[in-house]
Amino acid sequence: MEEKLNLNTVEKLGQKIRIERQKRKISQEKLAEMSDLNRNFIGMVERGETNITVKNLESIANALKMDIRELFNFVL
């Protein structure tokens, strides 16, 4: 059960990143460039296929001009 909870959290975080990216009309490629990350990695994060380090999450938040805490504003 614990593993499923973690997976859901990772998926929801990815969905939140996608929503915020799309609100700003930024492509995955542009977000990757702005955050100095790989476009394929951005896609994997948004789909909840990979866990993300705090450092990379901070890079994405900065690229989206958001406080990192705002990315966790979703219902578990």
Specify the pLDDT at position 8: 86
Q: What type of residue sits at position 4?
A: K
Of 61, 49, 48, residue with least CA distance to 21 = 61
Give Rg (Cα) of the chain: 12
Give residue 1's pLDDT band: very low, low, confident or very high (50, 70, 90). Answer: very low
Specify the pLDDT at position 59: 98
What pLDDT, in 10s, does the model give residues 21-67?
A: 999 999 999 999 999 999 999 999 999 999 999 999 999 999 999 99
Q: Residue 27 sits in which domain range? A: 2-72
In the chain, what's the furthest Cα-to-Cα distance?
Answer: 36
CB 40 within 8 A of CB 49: no
| Residues contacting residue 10 through CB under 8 Å, at least 6 positions apart | 48, 50, 51, 52
Instruction: Please count the structural domains in the chain.
Output: 1
CATH of the domain at 8: 1.10.260.40
